[in-house]
Amino acid sequence: MREDRNTTLLRSELFSIEQLKRHAVILAGQHRIDPGPGPDRLLPRLADNARVLMAAYDVVTAVVTPGQRILPTEAWLLDNFYLVEQQISLARRHLPRGYSRQLPRLADGHSAGFPRIYDVALELISHMDGRVDRDNVTQFVAAYQTVTPLKLGELWAVPIMLQLALLENLRRVGVRIAQRREERDAGKLWADRMLAAAETDPKQLTHLLAEFAHADVPLTAPFVEEFYDRLQAQVAVMAFVQTWVEQKLLEQGVTATKLSEAAGRTDAENQISIANSIGSLRFIGAMDWKWYVESLSAVESILREDPAGTHASQDFATRDRYRHVIEDLARGGHCDELTVAREAIVLAQAAAAERGQGDRSAHVGFYLIDRGRSQLKRAIDCRRWLRTRVHQASQRICLPVYLGTILAFTFLLTVGVLALSDGGTRDWPGWILAVTVFIGASALTVALVNLLVTQFVPPRILPRLDFSQGIPVAHRTMVVVPTLLGSQQDINDLLEALEIRYLGNRDANLFFALLTDFPDAAEQTLPDDGPLLARACAGIAALKETYRDDRPCVFYLFHRPREWNASERVWMGYERKRGKLEQFNARLRGGAHTAFSDIVGDQTVLDSIRYVITLDTDTQLPRDAAHALVGNLAHPLNRPVFSEARGRIVEGYAILQPRASISLTSAGRSRFTRLFSGNTGLDPYTRQVSDVYQDVFGEGSFIGKGIYDVDAFRQAVDGRFPENLILSHDLLESGYARSALVTDVDLIED
């Protein structure tokens, strides 16, 4: 096996960090980008490296079978080749066909035609002998960007490019190891032939030496070392052979001793290089590349100038979404990513100066993912592709298009079915058949149209602030469970579930409460009412005492007495769940003093509660779900805007509805639940969902479990609905208060 030119370039002068940074500056000045398209050269190179490494492994593996002595470098290759195969497999998976064509390619140099970031990785590997760590990779790329900023796609490509460069380095070392093993095997072969000749027919030794000389075998260090070791047993007989070899070495200007010393140094270098490369491959898998990209992204540093001061406090997914939008806009326009980011900041600064920093248009995200995006496109002269034009046009008439498509398909399907039937619509059985077919066809058409929509309309994901380290005081939230006090066991279950919700969502500004009524009754009070309420109050007090070291008051109880309902002709809680939440909201804002007969908990914090998370009795609140929901609702682009003229929320959202999944234990409880629960496998959290209404219309449906803004909710729905006429109130409330679906937060229920 022989090294090719690309692999020999990977062994360069070793640099210190300061030398490495100076080299990065020089390298950035030397790189010239080819503006035209070119073939994908990374996948073919990866395939070639895999082939060469496997061949080297086979050469070394062949030594193990006869029980020959294995060198330390060979042991390194054998012991860690499973990791090499794993990295090759991962590289193939993470390197889709045509990926390199999306990255800037070099126009000249030894890496001409390869992505620029690939050459950057090769240079780092070659001058650090395969040793990659957080410090050198960060400082090398940072120094490079002082001359030429890298694109976001290039920064994200750094790990895979380092992986490919390390495989190149392992190929270089593997070829050397295999080559030295082949040379040792050649030395063993010639020595064994000469020893056999000396034992059987010494006269043939002269002819064999002549054959050896005529073969012009390279007298490399591994060959000579193995050759001499074999001849030590027959020094007297082989003296003239050794003399001839030493003479040939003198003609080359070396001695056997010098060759042996050089071989030792080479083996040590190979061992260090392969050890560095293996360690670096493990480092790449453990490195936090999200932090790396953000810390080095010039686009990110510009976005952090957001005049609203919001960008840096968003979660990573939202910040990354902004950066990807900038990538797409730069690709479709006549400018680079930095120009797009700068224009977005300029527009946000102008809006902040005109309307104030609290306005939603003062946030840079308004021009990236919200209504200001068209304004940004005009500012950067972005080309509007056909798909973009169709999408924007459909947004303006989305409801007629959506409903019209469903009606048209349903009508065509109905006509087709009726045309195939023997009868028509001339008599009343025909009309019954037509109506039945129409209803059935509409169900099928809705499913097909929804499927079609999800193929062409991108998911509408809500931006989020990062409250994983704690909810701010300005966004205090209370988790409430509207429920009934039915029995002592029911109360015990309610208290246990409330404690579990708290343990999964501990936060200094998150509170938990039960909103309770007694069941409907023919009388205002029943004999069991007192003991039940006393048990509930005692349970809340016990929870407060158990967790008093966390905070003096975490748990609350709000209980309402029965009122006479003339319409229902029964004693019951006012307007049931809707009335309970309505009166609770009023109590948070200093009203409804007589609505609750019993309140357990510190009432001084009630007026500071900004959001309420309402759950059903059987709804679980998974770990940190509350932080995510509050972070969503607190984001400037999601904050509700109320229109006095229209009497409802017109921008942002007053209600956020998470996904609601069936618990795995209850999903298999009966044939019915197995059929309708929808959960499969063992992990229901591995999927994200796309909601057609959210994606197309920007709104979702509220099903009674979610988070709402107290003030905006009251402004939109208080006094809106008549008494004793509405039982399922959730959908109506979301129509006025505007609801959105949060697809990546999942509530679990029976």
Cβ(720)–Cβ(593) under 8 Å? no
Token reading at 204: 């043939």
In this predicted model, what pLDDT tens digit does every residue of 105-141 receive, in sequence order?
A: 999 988 899 999 999 999 999 999 889 999 999 999 9
The two most distant CA atoms of the chain are separated, in Å, by: 127
381: left (phi over 0), alpha (psi -120 to 50) or beta: left
Q: Which residues of 292-321 are buried (b: 16+ CB within 10 A; e: fewer)?
A: bbbebbbbbebbebbbbebbebbbeebbbb
* pTM of the full structure: 0.83
Q: Give the residue carrying structure tokens 């063992």.
A: 682
Domain residue extents for the chain: 5-180, 182-272, 297-384, 392-456, 477-609, 618-750
For range 504-532, the mean pLDDT = 94
Range 366-374 average pLDDT: 91
Residue 184, judged by CB atoms within 10 A of its CB (0-12, 13-18, 19+), counts as: buried
For the chain, give percent helix, strand, coil, nearest 5.
60, 10, 30
Percent of the chain with pLDDT over 70: 91
- 583-611 tens-digit pLDDT: 999 999 998 889 999 999 999 999 999 99
For range 670-686, the mean pLDDT: 58
Predicted pLDDT of residue 651: 92
User: Does 616 score more than 50 pLDDT?
Assistant: yes
What are 438-488's pLDDT values in tens digits?
888 888 888 888 888 887 777 788 999 999 999 999 999 999 999 999 999
Q: What does the alpha-carbon distance between residue 49 and residue 180 come to, in Å, rounded to a whole number?
A: 19
DSSP alpha helix (H) spans, 457-505: 488-504
Query: What is the Cα–Cα distance from 265 to 608, expressed in whole angstroms?
Result: 72
Query: Would you say residue 492 has pLDDT above 60?
Result: yes
Q: pLDDT for 198-228, tens place per residue?
A: 777 777 777 777 777 777 777 777 877 777 7
The pLDDT tens digits of the residues spanning 414-445 come to 888 777 766 555 666 767 778 888 888 888 88
**pLDDT reported for residue 682:** 41
pLDDT of residue 66: 66
Q: Which residue has the higher pLDDT, 581 or 454?
A: 581
Cα 441 to its chain centre, rounded Å, is 39
Q: What topology does CATH give the domain 5-180?
A: Aminoglycoside 3'-phosphotransferase; Chain: A, domain 2 (3.90.1200)
